[in-house]
Amino acid sequence: MLKFLIRRVGQGIVVLWLITMAVFGLFFVAPNNVARTLAGRQATPQTIATISHRLGLDQPIWRQYVGFVWRALHGDLGYDYYHQVPVTTIMAQAMPITGSLVVGSALIWVVLGVANGVISAVRPRSLTDRGLTVFALFFYSMPTFLLGLIFLYLLYYQLTLHGVAFFPAGGYSALSSGVGPWLQHMILPWLTLALVSAATYTRLTRGSMLDVLGEDYVRTARSKGIGEKRVILRHALRSALTPVVTQFGIDVATLLGGAVVTEQVFSMPGLGKTAVDSINQQDLPVIIGIVLFASAAVVVANIIVDLLYAVLDPRVRLH
């Protein structure tokens, strides 16, 4: 286990190193005037000169790259000259919003998707299975932005017209303002993201469960007189969750970099909306910081997923 962990961490470090090289080349080598590019369209000559001095742009490329990596390792993701604050300050304001959205919706889509998948697999080709299949295909085919707009129209606009003003039009209310307002602002974004994602997990769990239920050890457990519920939950589901965990790790890590569409539809100033706004404003330091954070999240999530394999499936051995 220790050797496997060391090897996977080493591979993750190599991946992050390659990403830093790509980001550095794209934003610090490719532009003709790096300082002006990072400063934005409305930068003054004094600001450009300050950036050149701070980043050491008059030094050799390899020194600039070492400084870039060194600052990133120490939590310095640059300075946002558009808003005149460090990039980490902007990301720290956006992360709780994205985190609230991703964690809440992830709990819903995993519970809903896995439960539906298990029910479909236990009763294959039944009316329940066909109904859940239609449910999964419907939401799998539904664009996130369209589902979000439908929720806003039905549950915000129409309810408000009829005197039931429960759901807000969008935005975000911090937990410090109270759990009630926070939940009111999060329910619709959670449902929008969760229903679309749950469809994938329903189909993934169903297919994996059908494969596992045909294994010899499951038939052996049944022949020993073990209850069907225990066979499903303790023997079959545990092994069937391996591909689900893989998908879950990738989805959560990717969304932690910003649930762009959902945050845009509901006007939530999370990392996704911040990234879109930064692209429109050509605020490159913020884009660089979000790219590095999202890349690190994906690498760490994949390492954790690999370690969970041995916990879920005893047949898996980490070497």
Give the model confidence (pLDDT) of 247-262 as tens digits. 888 888 878 876 888 8
Check: CB of residue 311 under 8 Å from CB of residue 298. Answer: no
Give the model confidence (pLDDT) of 292-302 as tens digits. 988 888 888 88
Q: Please check the confidence at residue 229 and state whether its pLDDT lies above 90.
A: no
Measure the CA–CA gap between 9 and 5, rounded to whole angstroms: 6
Q: What is the pLDDT of residue 309?
A: 73
Q: What is the pLDDT of residue 191?
A: 92
Tell me which of 30 and 243 has the higher pLDDT: 243
Provide the token pair at 40: 């934005």
Check: CB of residue 159 under 8 Å from CB of residue 187. Answer: no
Look at residues 237, 248, 257 and name the one whose alpha carbon lies nearest to residue 302. Answer: 248
Q: What is the pLDDT of residue 189?
A: 92
Mean pLDDT value of segment 14-26: 89
Label residues 81-103 b or e (16+ Cβ within 10 Å = b).
Answer: bbeeebbbebbeebbebbebbbe
Indicate the helix (H) or strand (E) that contains 193.
Answer: helix 179-213
Which residue do the tokens 């030094």 mark? Answer: 59
Look at residues 58, 15, 3 and name the one whose alpha carbon lies nearest to residue 302. Answer: 15
Q: Please check the confidence at residue 209 and state whether its pLDDT lies above 70.
A: yes
Query: Could you tell me which residues are beta bridge partners of residue 85?
Result: 80
Measure the CA–CA gap between 16 and 300, rounded to whole angstroms: 10
For the chain, which domains are there? 2-76 (no CATH), 89-283 (1.10.3720.10)
Phi, psi of 31 (to 5 degrees): -65, 150
Looking at residue 33, what DSSP letter applies?
A: S
Place 187 in a pLDDT band, splitting at 50, 70 and 90: very high
Measure the CA–CA gap between 133 and 84, rounded to whole angstroms: 51
∠ CA 158-162-166, rounded to 5°: 75
Phi, psi of 80 (to 5 degrees): -90, 105
**In this structure, which amino acid lies at residue 199?**
A
Whether the full predicted model's pTM is greater than 0.85, yes or no, is: no
